Structures are given as C-alpha cells and as structure tokens.
Amino acid sequence: MLKRPIRLDMNEDPFLPPANVIAAARKGLSRLNRYADAEDLAQLRRLLADYAGVDDRRVVLGPGSEILLREMIHAFAGKRKVVMLSPSFLPVVEVARETAASWTGLRLSPPGFELQPEILLAETQGPCLVIIDSPNNPTGHLMLERQTVRALVENEEALLVIDEAYEEFARMHGADEEATDSSFIDLVEDYANLAVTRTLDKAFSLAGARVGYAVIGEAFRKVFASFYPLLPQPSLGAALEALEHPAYVEQHVSRLIEERERLRQALQEAEARVYASHANFLLVRSRAPDMAARLRDEGVLVSDVSNQLPPGFIRVSVGTRRENDAFLAAYGRIMEDVH
C-alpha cells in the first residue's frame, strides 16, 4: 500500500472537532433517507446569526461558501464588470473570468501585497461586482479598511462581496502587525449592496461537512429567493452541535496560530522568505522555483501558486506539529540539493 502523503495544500484544520460534534454528525447518518428539515435549517440560521452578531433574516446557508460566491457571480457578472484581487482564491477567479462581461484583477505585488484604495475605487466607478477575500488567499493579508469599504458601497451601482473565510484567524491574528477591521459584517445592515461570506470549514474544523453562509444586503436577496440549501444530514447535525458549543473554536485557532508562528520562524531560519499571515496558512517564497513538485516527490503536498505569483511561491497550510516537522525536514533536504 502506498504511503499516504502529508497534505498541507488545502487550508484545512488538521485537528478533529470535539467528540460531541462528531457524535452529532454520526447521528445524522440515521436520517440519510431524509432531506434537511426546514426547522433545523432555520435553527442553523439563528445560531449563525447569533455567532456573527447579525439579523438571522440576512443569513443564507449553502454547501460551502464557494457555492454562495458562485451563485452571486452567475447572477450578476454577465452584465457587470467583475473586480477581484490577483492573486485570489483560484476556483472563484476562474468562474468569474468565464462568466463576467469583463474581468479586472488588481495585482498584489510582493513584498507588501498591498491593495491601493485609490486604484480599487477608480476601477469600481460604474456597474460592477467586486469580490475581495480578506484575509486574502494565498497571501494571508488583510486587504480592506473600513473607510475604503464605505467608499465602495456608497456607489450604489457597485455590489461588494467580502469573503471572510479566515475571519476567526484574523480576529486572533497573532502576526506581527495589529489586526484592525478584520470583519465588515456589521455594515451589511446599513448597505443593501454589501454581502459577506463565511464558512465553518476552517476554524470549526468542519471542512468535510461543507457548511458555508452569507450575510446579505437587500440587493442580493433575489439571488437566493429560491435557493434551498440541501445540506446533508451529518453536516447539518455537526454544524448545529458546533454552534451550540462554539467555545472550542478559540482553542483550535489559538493552537494553530501558535504552530503557524513556529513554522514561520523555522522557515525563516532556513532562509526562506515567509510572509506574515492572518489565516491558517503561510505564503512562502523559496529559491527553488519547483519547490512544490520537489516536496511532492518527498511525500508532502503544498499548493503551487506560481500560476498567480512569480516562480518559487508556495502556500503551506498549517498542519500538526508532526506534519509540519516532516515538511520542514523535506524542505531542508531540498534546499541542501539547491545549494
């Protein structure tokens, strides 16, 4: 039997959720012959609204936040210019480029990967759909300030979607710089043309359950008027239990941030260029342009982001200490060959 590779390429939480959440997912197996009950879905919306601090009437459920983003793109992009970051979450970029009347990617360049507000505002004057992931994938940087968000949504022809998949990590950042304005979900009530997407995949350790949600302004409501979230029973059970007892999230996130910073320091000592992150991954630039392929040969999978960034860039999800040590050992062996 082939040895299973170490997977540090999917930005998953390497730790299982608590036993009560797993038990709730197993209980859902006893209802596999049934669709999700409307009352259970309504309860999940209420719990998510309470967790996010919003009105539950603004919460839309979906099988992963990516599906909700796709729905918005398909609804609006055909007659609008789509403005995104470059780099950004590639599956969403690809859908937008295929669907949009026109597509603009605002380049984030090393070493700072800053988004220039004046350029963003200049590109979003007319009818447009703006999708910004903050923290950004794959840089891990926070992209927006409150003043910029307000300026964007003051243009009533613009629709702004902020993807906050890593919000819990941004809030508890642990990186060098202070995390300010990590979320803008509170502004949705004030602006009809603003939506925020989030997920339980990351901080809640539920990537296998695929439960996402969006908090939407009125301009997005028609998109989801007939959208019914057919969540699998195990996913629904796990999400409900997790949100009834969400205290474990802070512990998981703290543990991952601590391990992320240990990994970052070790890579810097190995003479890699490592960028501060507000997410559960690190962006790394190595002198070996084919580092992702070399690591794969060593049995370690990382994300090759050279299709959006210059050669040598990889994105490394934070794994367990054992997984990270195996990655560091493989990285060190490869760099010895490069020397």
Each domain of the chain, given as residue ranges in start order, spans 6-15+248-338, 19-245
Structure tokens at 168: 């819990």
Report pTM: 0.95
How much is the pLDDT for 172?
86
Nearest to 6 by CA among 329, 220, 318, 323: 323
DSSP 336: H
Structure tokens at 316: 């490394």
Separation between Cα atoms, residue 85 and residue 136, nearest integer Å: 8
Q: Indicate if 19-245 has the same CATH topology as 6-15+248-338.
A: no
Local mean pLDDT, 10-residue blocks, the chain (339 residues): 82 96 98 95 98 97 96 96 96 95 95 95 96 97 96 96 97 58 94 98 97 98 91 98 97 96 96 96 94 96 93 96 97 89
Residue 299 contacts residue 330 (beta carbons within 8 Å): yes
Listed in sequence order, the residues at least 6 apart from 300 whose beta carbon sits closer than 8 Å to its beta carbon are: 5, 6, 8, 326, 327, 330
User: Hey, which CATH number is domain 6-15+248-338, 3.30.750.24, 3.30.930.10, 3.30.70.930, 3.90.1150.10?
Assistant: 3.90.1150.10
Q: State the DSSP H helix or E strand holding residue 65, giving kind and residue range, or none if neither.
A: helix 65-76
How much is the pLDDT for 176?
46
How much is the pLDDT for 314?
97
How much is the pLDDT for 175?
44
* Residue 27 backbone zone (phi > 0: left; psi -120 to 50: alpha; other: beta): alpha
Nearest to 142 by CA among 305, 276, 51, 310: 276
303 — phi, psi (to 5°)? -90, 125
User: Hey, which CATH number is domain 19-245, 3.40.50.720, 3.50.50.60, 3.30.1510.10, 3.40.640.10?
Assistant: 3.40.640.10
How much is the pLDDT for 173?
66
Nearest to 316 by CA among 281, 266, 276, 290: 281
How much is the pLDDT for 180?
60
Beta bridge partners of 304: 314
Separation between Cα atoms, residue 88 and residue 243, nearest integer Å: 28
Residue 124 contacts residue 155 (beta carbons within 8 Å): yes
